Amino acid sequence: MSARPGKYLALIPVLAAYLGMFVFGRVQPDMWQLVAMLAFYCCLGQAFNLFLGMTGYVDFGYVAFVGVGTYGMALTLSRLSGVEGIGFGALVIGLLAAAGMSAMLSIAVGAVALRLRGAYFAIATIGVNEGFRYFIEGARIWNGSEGIIFSKDLRAIFGRETAIALSTFWADVFVIVIGASAAVVTLIYMRSKIGFALTALREDEDAAKVIGIFVTKYKIIAFITSAVFAGLLGATAWALKLTYVYPPDAFEIHYTVEAIIIVMLGGAGTLLGPVVGGLLYGLSKYWLAIILPGFQLLIFAPIILVIIVAFPEGTVGYLKKKVRGTALERYIV
Amino acid sequence: MRRSVWKVLFGVFSLVALVGLLLAGPAAALDKVVIGHPGALSGKYAKAGEQARGGIEAAVKWVNETRGGIEVDGRKVPLEYKNYDCESKKESVTSLIERLVTKDKVHAIFTPYSSGLTLAGAPIAEKYGIVYMDHGGASDKIFKQGFEYIVQTIGPGSKYHAGTLDMIKKADPTAKKVALAYEDSEFARSVMDGAKQHATELGFDIVFERTYPKGVTDLTPLLSALKATSPDIVIGGGHFEDGQLFNRQMADLDINVRAFSLIAAATLPAFYEALTYLAEGVMGPSHWEYGVTFDPDAAAKEGLQWIGPSQDEFVQLFKDALGKDMIPDYHAAEAGAAVLALVLGIEQAKSVDSDKVRAALGDMTFMSFYGSWKIDKTGKQIGHDMVDVQWQNGKRVIVWPAGARTAELYYPMPTFAEKAAGKKATK
pLDDT of B335 reads: 97
Model confidence at B353: pLDDT above 70: yes
Model confidence at B1: pLDDT above 60: no
Annotated domain spans of chain B? 33-155+291-373, 159-286+386-420
Q: Which residues of A touch B185 (CB under 8 A)?
A: 145, 248
Task: Output Rg (C-alpha) for chain A, integer angstroms.
Answer: 20
Of A12, A146, A289, the CB nearest to B5: A12
Q: Which residue in chain A has the smallest CA separation from B121?
A: A242
Inter-chain CB proximity B122 and A243 less than 8 Å: yes
Model confidence at B20: pLDDT above 70: no
Inter-chain CB proximity A152 and B20 less than 8 Å: no
pTM for this entry: 0.90
pLDDT of B13 reads: 55
Residue A263 CA, chain-centre distance (Å), reads 10
Phi and psi based region of residue A59 (left: phi greater than 0; alpha: psi -120 to 50; beta: remaining): beta
Task: Read off the pLDDT band of B248 (50, 70, 90).
Answer: very high
What ipTM, to 2 d.p.? Answer: 0.92
Tens of pLDDT, residue by residue over B334-346, are: 999 999 999 999 9
Q: Hey, which CATH number is domain B33-155+291-373, 1.20.1440.230, 3.40.50.2300, 1.10.10.10, 3.40.50.720?
A: 3.40.50.2300
Q: What percent of chain B has pLDDT over 90?
A: 84
Of A16, A242, A293, the CB nearest to B9: A16
CA dihedral A35, A41, A44, A48 (to 10 degrees): -140
Does any CB of chain B come closer than 8 Å to the CB of residue A16?
A: yes
Instruction: Give the gap in angstroms from C-alpha B361 to the nearest C-alpha of chain A.
Output: 22
Task: Read off the pLDDT band of B4 (50, 70, 90).
Answer: low
Residue B188 CA, chain-centre distance (Å), reads 14
Beta strands in B90-200 (DSSP E): 108-110, 132-134, 150-152, 177-183
Inter-chain CB proximity A290 and B95 less than 8 Å: no
Q: Which of B275, B261, B274 is nearest to B232 (CA)?
A: B261
Residue by residue, pLDDT tens for chain A (333 residues) are 445 667 889 999 999 999 999 999 999 988 999 999 999 999 999 999 999 999 999 999 999 999 999 999 999 999 999 898 888 999 999 999 999 999 999 999 998 899 888 789 998 898 899 999 999 998 999 999 999 999 999 999 999 999 999 999 999 999 999 999 999 999 999 999 999 999 999 999 999 999 999 998 999 999 999 999 999 999 999 999 999 999 999 999 999 999 999 999 999 999 999 999 999 999 998 998 888 887 887 888 888 888 888 888 999 999 999 999 888 888 888
| Distance, CA of A54 to CA of A48 (rounded, Å) | 10
Question: The CATH number of the domain where A153 resides is what?
Answer: 1.10.3470
pLDDT of A299 reads: 85
Q: What domain range is A24 assigned to? A: 5-330
Q: Does domain B159-286+386-420 bear CATH number 3.40.50.10470? A: no
pLDDT of B2 reads: 52
Q: Does residue B142 contact residue A149 with C-beta atoms inside 8 Å?
A: yes
When mean pLDDT is compared over A140-144, B5-9, B19-23, B149-153, the highest value belongs to B149-153
B contact test, residue of A63, A246, A255, A296 with most B CBs within 10 A: A246
Q: b/e for A9-39, b at 16 or more Cβ within 10 A?
A: bbbebbbbbbebbbebbeebebbbbbbbbbb
Q: Which residue has the higher pLDDT, B15 or B406?
A: B406
Q: Does residue A163 contact residue A151 with C-beta atoms inside 8 Å?
A: yes
Inter-chain CB proximity A294 and B127 less than 8 Å: no
Model confidence at B320: pLDDT above 50: yes
pLDDT of A244 reads: 96
Model confidence at B21: pLDDT above 50: no
Q: What percent of chain B has pLDDT over 70?
A: 93
Does any CB of chain B come closer than 8 Å to the CB of residue A199?
A: no
Q: What phi and psi, each to the nearest 5 degrees, are found at residue B44?
A: -70, -20
Distances (CA, A) of A286 to A47, A126, B167, B206: 22, 28, 49, 49
CB-based burial label for A216 (10 Å; 0-12, 13-18, 19+): middle
pLDDT of A327 reads: 86
Q: Which of B62, B128, B51, B118 is nearest to B322 (CA)?
A: B51
pLDDT of B25 reads: 42
| Distance, CA of B164 to CA of A158 (rounded, Å) | 42
Q: Which residue in chain B has the smallest CA separation from A30?
A: B102
Same fold, B33-155+291-373 and B159-286+386-420: yes
pLDDT of B371 reads: 93
Which residues share a beta bridge with B110? B133
SS3 A245: strand
pLDDT of A305 reads: 87
Does any CB of chain B come closer than 8 Å to the CB of residue A137?
A: yes
Which residue type, as a one-letter code, is found at position B38? P
Phi and psi based region of residue B329 (left: phi greater than 0; alpha: psi -120 to 50; beta: remaining): beta
Of B1, B101, B141, the CB nearest to A149: B141
Task: Output Rg (C-alpha) for chain B, integer angstroms.
Answer: 24
The DSSP secondary structure of A41-106, one letter per residue, reads: HHHHHHHHHHHHHHH----TTTHHHHHHHHHHHHHHHHHHTTSTT-TTHHHHHHHHHHHHHHHHHH
How many domains does chain A contain in total?
1
Of A237, A241, A289, the CB nearest to B92: A289
Q: Does residue B341 contact residue B349 with C-beta atoms inside 8 Å?
A: no
Tens of pLDDT, residue by residue over B84-141, are: 999 999 999 999 999 999 999 999 999 999 999 999 999 999 999 999 999 999 999 9
Instruction: Provide the mean pLDDT of chain B.
Output: 92
SS3 A201: helix
pLDDT of B402 reads: 83
Q: Which residues of B touch A147 (CB under 8 A)?
A: 186
pLDDT of B28 reads: 47
Instruction: Give the gap in angstroms from C-alpha B403 to the nearest C-alpha of chain A.
Output: 34
Of A134, A164, A293, the CB nearest to B123: A164
Q: Which residues of A touch B91 (CB under 8 A)?
A: 37, 40-41, 237
Does any CB of chain B come closer than 8 Å to the CB of residue A209?
A: no
B contact test, residue of A14, A37, A281 with most B CBs within 10 A: A37
pLDDT of B26 reads: 42
Inter-chain CB proximity B87 and A297 less than 8 Å: yes
Distances (CA, A) of A303 to A280, A295, A299: 10, 13, 7
